[in-house]
Amino acid sequence: MRVVLFTGKGGVGKTTVAAATAVRAARSGLRTLVMSTDPAHSLGDSFEIAIEGQPTAVAERLWAQQVDAQERLEENWREIQDYMVQLMNWAGTETIQAEELTVIPGLDEIFALIDVKTHVESGNYDVLVVDCAPTAETLRLLSLPEIMNWYIERIWPVERKVVKAVRPIVSRMTTLPIAGDHVFAAVERLHANLDAVKGILTDEAVASVRLVLNPEKMVISEARRTYTYLGLFGYRVDAVVVNRVLPPEITDPYFGKWKDIQAEHLATVHESFEPVPILEARLFDREMVGIPLLVEMGDEVYGDREALDVLYHDDPIRVRKRGTGYVLRMRLPFVSRDDMDIHRRGEELFVRVGSYKRNLILPQTLKRMVVREASFAGDHLEILFAREPTRPTEGS
């Protein structure tokens, strides 16, 4: 199965490009589902039909879905939430307030990710096109599996053992609610689902991300940051779509300055993202909604290309042997040494870029080594691992 995710700053037209890609895939004979994880759903507007929380037939071999966050909350979080509400009630918080407080920001994005896993494993579709939330939310969405797994793998097993040991004692001494096995089981299911999602979205043979932007300074800057952070979390970008480019046939002097500015911005886009393919779509003279116009949009974006091909192969994070040591190589474009911090703690390597952090669990070979240096080679960060020098024995 092929999974293609579209993201970009709000208002750049990513929903339209995602819908056009899905239409193109369906017309090529592939069973295609286009799914929106954006809380401000506009996928239904693109197709000019009402779309539900479950896959809705749009055209032959084409279905669309707008994920219902509340419904997914009930399915995936209810058992955990019920226990958290009991704790807050015990501490004196009113039930309605407790229920609101236990809906952690970002849960809707987590459950949207689980829908990706569900559809991939179902075998009902050949292609899944995901219309992601605007850039900032998407970055949070894509980093959540790794962040949650870190806590679940390290903190949760310890807590479960402690609770099992003290439950008989605590239950006789206090009315404090103690988590039952069903709560732990619910958390472990969530962990397993998120781990599977991460495997899908970081598999180059299956998934890739496409950035949608407009030829505007602020939008390009946002896309550059997104590109960096996607590399930080190991997600592959295989194309950049520049939408709403003024076409050559516009000759009105009023737009002359705009065309000059766009030409400068397009040059910046090519300098920033190549060799990733840069696809362009002109500014149309109407809203591109409905199947016929989405077909036209797909032709405009992809031309003779196959929309579902992996358009660019990249490996954001690699480990290679160098001499007697190893180099961990991570793609981090548009970043200088001053923008980041790297440190090692036990088996983990912590990399911070701006406000985003990643905890890398080192493979066994690197765990036995120390970080010697970190430097940039082009747009890649290279971290050199080497063996600790052997200490001389006494008398030698």
**Which comes out higher in pLDDT, residue 364 or 343?**
343
Average pLDDT, integer, range 322-338: 85
The answer to whether domain 1-314 and domain 317-387 are alike in fold is: no
Q: Can you spell out the DSSP letters for 273-330? A: HTTS-EEEEE--SS---SHHHHHHHHHHHHTTS-TTS------SEEEEEETTEEEEEE
User: What's the pLDDT tens digit per position in 218-234?
Assistant: 999 999 988 988 888 88
CATH level 3 topology of 1-314:
Rossmann fold (3.40.50)
In the predicted structure, residue 252 carries a pLDDT above the cut 70 = yes
| Sheet of 325-331, strands arranged across | 317-322, 325-331, 380-387, 369-377
Angle at alpha carbon of residue 24, lines to 67 and 3, rounded to 5°: 50
Average pLDDT, integer, range 167-193: 63
E-assigned strand segments in 106-218: 127-131, 207-213
Q: Do residues 343 and 350 touch, judged by C-beta distance below 8 A? A: yes
Is the alpha carbon torsion for 254, 257, 261, 262 positive or negative?
A: positive
Average pLDDT, integer, range 235-244: 96
In the predicted structure, residue 381 carries a pLDDT above the cut 60 = yes
* One-letter amino acid of 285: D
User: What's the pLDDT tens digit per position in 41-87?
Assistant: 789 999 999 998 889 999 999 999 998 766 776 676 666 666 666 66
Q: For residue 207, what are the β-bridge partners?
A: 3
Question: What is the percentage of the chain residues whose pLDDT exceeds 90?
Answer: 41
Residue with tokens 């472990």: 188
**Measured distance CA(346)–CA(201) in Å, rounded:** 27
In the predicted structure, residue 291 carries a pLDDT above the cut 80 = yes
Instruction: Give pLDDT, residue 163.
Output: 53
Instruction: Give pLDDT, residue 200.
Output: 93
User: What's the pLDDT tens digit per position in 106-163?
Assistant: 666 677 778 899 999 999 999 999 998 887 667 666 776 666 666 666 655 655 555 5
In the predicted structure, residue 167 carries a pLDDT above the cut 70 = no
Q: What is the architecture, at CATH level 2, of domain 317-387?
A: Sandwich (2.60)
Q: Which of 90-99, 233-242, 313-322 has the lowest mean pLDDT?
A: 90-99
Q: Do residues 177 and 86 touch, judged by C-beta distance below 8 A? A: yes
Structural domain spans, the chain: 1-314, 317-387
Q: Which of 173-177, 179-183, 207-211 has the lowest mean pLDDT?
A: 173-177
